[in-house]
Structure 1
């Protein structure tokens, strides 16, 4: 994103913070001249923290030094969602009082009482929900699935596949978070690990070390990755190289044969649909030479990429991207872009397992969309 294009979201967010400042510091008419100044200073500091998670400033310091600032700014973004959901209705009710009490003071006393009670209450609830979301985000759980197929060779019956997506390590999430994910995966003793995109945020030179624990991932059938949309936004080539330097092959529009007991299945993977040029998705290349009658796993970051392989014999697509909405009530918006929110569902004739992700973009906050590590048991039948 260019500096000029970045000014648009920054301007919109700054305007929203002016609205928040007015609702919290001015509309209640606290009768203390220092209150508006104090609220303005706090909001300005939080605004600066929000910018740091996007590396707008502070790159002269190490990620570890700046992480508390970036974490606070990202968490404040989540708080702003709930401030918006609460303060806008309060402002509308206050405006209705102004209109309906058509007297010389337009119901000034009633509006003042409303704003003095509701504005702090909304702020407290927004902070409380964010706090709960921080706890929820810090406790990923394992979700077990079973997929049965007559095409699965008997030698692969009972194979366990761990699906890791949407870690988003970087300014907010550190190598310690990645280590926790690796430990959770290893505890499940999977036969195969598929890492389906959005491992990071930022530049590889700065945040590559946050992924270092992935080097310890082990599975009898291997550990493989594919790219997500965030790998496509910045530093794509360097991130792909970084994954492979960790010993994780990236399925760049290609397939691999997995062997067990003299039998074979196929794992194919494509780049995310946001990729361009050499990183554009090419499902035809990914499935070239793959027998549609055999058993095929297909790694594609976005669930809607299943539409590109309809009728191609894909037995299970492994995806992420949606985060399950991450912050209630955003899950209601996910169907505007994706065919599924999370879980195991058919997209056309392709069964798609969509993970909510083990991490999350931006704030390390999740509200009613808990992080997960899906583990799929493949069964012949």
Structure 2
């Protein structure tokens, strides 16, 4: 990776920290020692954010680092709400400065405003982050029913569990993966589909965090495809780790699923971020598949359904969006994806998009609860 690409996010982080420090410490006119304490606290929290990206190397085990990483990522989540709260206060301060330009630019009024707003915004941001931590820690089952005349009568009532976006790694441990596995197995699905973004980081360091996936149970099998995060780092290592767990990878291919003499097809492709041997190939995935039969297609990103128009796919299973993960980010998702969550039609193909069971970065979700959708397929 280019050094410039590393410096850009660091520069953004530093710039934002300066903004926070000014709004929380300088603008209210606190004494010098309060300003110093706030600066030290922000610097310490920022160092924990960098720890989440293995900035300190492998000197410590993931278990040793996890409490510090969790706090750093929670701080990153709280920064969203600090930003949303402090920017309007900053704009109000500018307005006072302009309106009262003949009277010392309203220095006293601006100081009073910021002395009330700074602690209030901080309290709201911390409260929102705390609520988000609770919400993210409690994934739930959501039920969906989907009907199709192409579904064989013998497979009416087939139940499919869709697992997406576990993001095990520096923040999410094997304990969380195990809870997700237990949640799925308790539903006794006929088929389990994992729609990418199982992990973050290097397989040599974090493969143990997804070991419980080997315990997933379904009569028709457990299948998985890659997400964009599998493409960012150590793709080869993660593919080997998935194989070792017994996951059947849908690497631009299809498989027939048979029950009671009837057959449906399950196909899947790599994520859009893949290239070379990891590039998605819809034609290869659907080669030899009868478009008149019932076909489920697994692709991490909902927008991958745009390539399926007219190809006879009856249902795409996806994740990626996290439902926005933290309000109000869900309103930005449509800038990249055609759907945010739930069942929708994209370019003529029904697409079920899961909000995901885990979370990327902070283990925080605000008004975007984690889920494992269980789809019941009906003929009709």
* TM-score of the superposed pair, with normalisation by structure 1: 0.99
Distance in 2, Cα, partners of 1:358 & 1:99:
48
Distance in 1, Cα, partners of 2:4 & 2:215:
41
Matched, 1:15 2:15: yes
Residue number in structure 1 paired with 2:318:
319
Alignment of structure 1 residues 231-380 onto 2, 5 Å: 231-380=230-379
Q: Secondary structure at the match of 2:350?
A: strand
Deviation at 1:2, TM superposition (A): 3.4
Residue number in structure 1 paired with 2:106:
107
Distance in 2, Cα, partners of 1:254 & 1:149:
23
Residue number in structure 2 paired with 1:82:
81
Distance in 1, Cα, partners of 2:324 & 2:375:
22
- Conservation of the 8 A alpha-carbon contact between 1:58 and 1:66: no
Alignment of structure 1 residues 180-219 onto 2, 5 Å: 180-219=179-218
Q: Secondary structure at the match of 1:374?
A: strand
The Cα RMSD (Å) is 0.8
Q: Secondary structure at the match of 1:353?
A: strand
Distance in 2, Cα, partners of 1:52 & 1:33:
29
Matched, 1:56 2:55: yes
Residue number in structure 2 paired with 1:71:
70
Distance in 2, Cα, partners of 1:337 & 1:25:
37
Q: Provide, for residues 256-310 of structure 1, a one-character-per-residue CA deviation record: whole Å limited to 9, x for no partner.
A: 0101011111000000011000000000000000000000000000000001111
Distance in 1, Cα, partners of 2:14 & 2:122:
18
Distance in 2, Cα, partners of 1:75 & 1:102:
40
Deviation at 1:58, TM superposition (A): 4.5
Structure 1 regions of 5+ residues with no counterpart?
Answer: none
Q: Provide, for residues 12-64 of structure 1, a one-character-per-residue CA deviation record: whole Å limited to 9, x for no partner.
A: 1111111100111111012x221111001000000000001111114210000
Distance in 2, Cα, partners of 1:96 & 1:50:
34
Deviation at 1:104, TM superposition (A): 4.2
Matched, 1:138 2:137: yes
Q: Provide, for residues 102-126 of structure 1, a one-character-per-residue CA deviation record: whole Å limited to 9, x for no partner.
A: 2342111111110000011001100
Deviation at 1:193, TM superposition (A): 0.1
- Conservation of the 8 A alpha-carbon contact between 2:52 and 2:170: yes
Distance in 2, Cα, partners of 1:187 & 1:261:
23
Distance in 1, Cα, partners of 2:164 & 2:232:
17
Distance in 2, Cα, partners of 1:332 & 1:186:
33
- Conservation of the 8 A alpha-carbon contact between 2:308 and 2:347: no
Distance in 1, Cα, partners of 2:19 & 2:261:
66
Deviation at 1:3, TM superposition (A): 3.4
* TM-score of the superposed pair, with normalisation by structure 2: 0.99
Runs of 4+ in structure 1 deviating by more than 3 angstroms, as ranges, are none
Residue number in structure 2 paired with 1:123:
122
Distance in 2, Cα, partners of 1:245 & 1:312:
33
Q: Provide, for residues 292-345 of structure 1, a one-character-per-residue CA deviation record: whole Å limited to 9, x for no partner.
A: 000000000000000111111101000000000001111111000000000000
Structure 2 regions of 5+ residues with no counterpart?
Answer: none
Distance in 2, Cα, partners of 1:312 & 1:138:
39
Q: Provide, for residues 126-174 of structure 1, a one-character-per-residue CA deviation record: whole Å limited to 9, x for no partner.
A: 0110000001101111110011111111121111000000000000000
Residue number in structure 1 paired with 2:166:
167
How many pairs does the alignment contain? 380
